[in-house]
Amino acid sequence: MNTEDIVTRSTFSMLDGKIDSRLLESIKLMGLKKPTQIQAKSLPHLLLGKDLIGAAKTGSGKTIAFLLPVIQNLIKLKFTQKHGVGCMIINPTRELALQTYEVLKKLLTKIDLSHALIVGGEKKHKEILSLQKGVNIIVGTPGRLLDHLQQTQKFNFRNIKCLILDEADKLLEAGFEEHLVGIIKLLPENRQTALFSATIDDKIRNLARLALKSSPILISIQDQVQTTVVGLQQGYFICPIEERIIWLHKMLKKCKKLKVMVFFSSCKSVDFHYEFFKTHCKAPVICIHGKLSQSKRKEAYRSFVDAQQGALFCTDVAARGLDIPSVDWIVQYDPPTDVKEYIHRVGRTARGMNTTGNAVILLRPEEEEFVNFLKTKKVYLDKYNFEKPSMDVLEMLQDLITNNGVMKILARKAFLSFLRCYKKHPLHKFFDINKLDLKLAAKGFGFLETPHVDFCILLFISFKYNDVR
């Protein structure tokens, strides 16, 4: 029997006698029967304490792949609070750290290993007390972890046995390289290290050389033919910019019994659209972005995870790593910054085994060439057709902008932030602000007249609109 056959036939029950029975019971209660490929291929090596690089797309089950051996090995070593930190798990965002922490808590339901979530935005004093008392497993973000390693007194991390770098490519993209180097240099060298990433490039290899032993195990679960998952139905819709908001209103009404994620380019755009749909359209909408407080982000994430239906308005803070169950539709209201971000956005649906999902990106007629560019990256989109929605919603929005001071301020901020994001778009070949009709773009935010636009935004735009001062 070859390796692939073994993986295909694997079940978690085959770990009986090899890992603690309480862990197996937790796995069963979580409804997990068969390991994913990354789990089946990684677990034997990680349980033996070997260093490992796991290359697999988001949604492939990496969290369970590293948490099971982390817990099992600390149980085997009889770790208690007095031993301090046994494992440190580093995530690129607070939301991903929270998600990992929630899975960890489920696995530890009947196991006495102390644990803590250490992320920016939380009260540092509470974290210090927890760390000084003794925490066996830490899940956190790089900046806050390095801060504690450097400054928190009586924080025992000298017995650490394992370091996990999760979503390592995103850690580097987010500018955490110096933080990671600082953390790695402070930790004892005699430890197991595992690095998980959706992609492996030179930066990841350099990080691996710094963090891991000389000959790590490499596990690669890659689909060389198709960039996105098989169960994903994805397409694009050519939508005039001034009609996007009425299209979205109709989409949300049509999908009111489904879960939908809508991606915007900026926090201000999320705020404006959230206020309009939540307050004035009475739509079941939740919002999340990087400018919200940590408590509000945590509440929004948990609410949408638990929801059976409704919409999450978000920026790309929600595009990577988050495991939100049963998302039916991904709507890319604003374009992604690159192909990677496109893939991560649509990766929020059709997650896990034998699941399906849908995705659509709204494009202006001038942006349709982006579809051919995606083809060169093995991302294939169908062209969707939707009936033209009624203009009533746009008229309602225009009335609000005229008569409601709060909505007018929100709309103006959203409009200007949209222009700023569009002006600096990395794929300006397809998303060219010089080809953007400012009057029609402003109409899409409810303005009858185009608001004053800062000169810096218009630096390379031809001044062809009389109402732009």
Which two tokens mark 166? 């999760």
* 100 and 141 Cβ atoms separated by less than 8 Å: no
Whether 232-413 and 3-221 are alike in CATH topology: the answer is yes
Q: Does domain 3-221 have CATH number 3.40.50.300?
A: yes
In this prediction, residue 58 carries a pLDDT of 67
In this prediction, residue 79 carries a pLDDT of 96
Which two tokens mark 203? 């930066």
- C-alpha–C-alpha distance, residues 173 and 70, integer Å: 26
Residue 228 pLDDT grade (very low, low, confident, very high; cuts 50, 70, 90): low
Note the helical H segments in 257-367. 267-275, 294-306, 339-346
**Per-residue model confidence as pLDDT tens digits over 25-72:** 999 999 898 999 999 999 999 999 999 999 887 667 899 999 999 999
In this prediction, residue 463 carries a pLDDT of 40
- C-alpha–C-alpha distance, residues 345 and 332, integer Å: 8
Buried b (16+ CB within 10 A) or exposed e, 283-311: bebbbbbbebeeeebbebbeebbebeebb
Summarize the confidence of residues 141-158 as an average pLDDT: 95
In this prediction, residue 3 carries a pLDDT of 53
Looking at the predicted structure, is the pLDDT value of residue 127 above 70? yes
* H-run or E-run covering 387: none
- C-alpha–C-alpha distance, residues 430 and 448, integer Å: 27
- C-alpha–C-alpha distance, residues 92 and 176, integer Å: 8
- CA-based diameter of the chain, in Å? 77
Summarize the confidence of residues 459-463 as an average pLDDT: 43
- The DSSP letter of residue 447 is -
- Of 198, 346, 323, nearest to 263 by C-alpha is 346
**Per-residue model confidence as pLDDT tens digits over 313-348:** 999 888 766 778 889 999 999 999 999 889 889 988
- C-alpha–C-alpha distance, residues 92 and 100, integer Å: 11
Q: How many CB atoms lie within 10 A of CB 366?
A: 15
Which two tokens mark 220? 């690669």
Residue 227 pLDDT grade (very low, low, confident, very high; cuts 50, 70, 90): low
In this prediction, residue 6 carries a pLDDT of 55
In this prediction, residue 220 carries a pLDDT of 87
How distant, in Å, are the alpha carbons of 229, 234, 241, 324 from that of 328? 14, 12, 24, 11
The pTM assigned to this predicted structure is 0.69
In this prediction, residue 389 carries a pLDDT of 86
Looking at the predicted structure, is the pLDDT value of residue 367 above 70? yes
* H-run or E-run covering 66: helix 62-76
- C-alpha–C-alpha distance, residues 171 and 90, integer Å: 9
% the chain with pLDDT above 70: 91
- Of 219, 318, 184, nearest to 260 by C-alpha is 318
Instruction: Supply the CATH classification number for the domain 232-413.
Output: 3.40.50.300
* 198 and 56 Cβ atoms separated by less than 8 Å: yes
CA 210 to chain centre: 26
Looking at the predicted structure, is the pLDDT value of residue 225 above 80? no
- C-alpha–C-alpha distance, residues 236 and 166, integer Å: 31
Domains in the chain: boundaries: 3-221, 232-413
- The DSSP letter of residue 90 is E
Q: How many CB atoms lie within 10 A of CB 369?
A: 11
In this prediction, residue 460 carries a pLDDT of 44
Which two tokens mark 191? 């430890």
- C-alpha–C-alpha distance, residues 310 and 445, integer Å: 22
* 250 and 70 Cβ atoms separated by less than 8 Å: no
**Per-residue model confidence as pLDDT tens digits over 237-278:** 999 999 999 999 999 999 999 999 999 999 999 999 999 999
Burial of 162 (0-12, 13-18, 19+ CB in 10 A): buried
SS3 of 166-231: the string is CCHHHHHHCCCHHHHHHHHHHCCCCCEEEEEECCCCHHHHHHHHHHCCCCCEEEEECCCCCCCCCC
- The DSSP letter of residue 390 is P
Summarize the confidence of residues 70-83 as an average pLDDT: 96
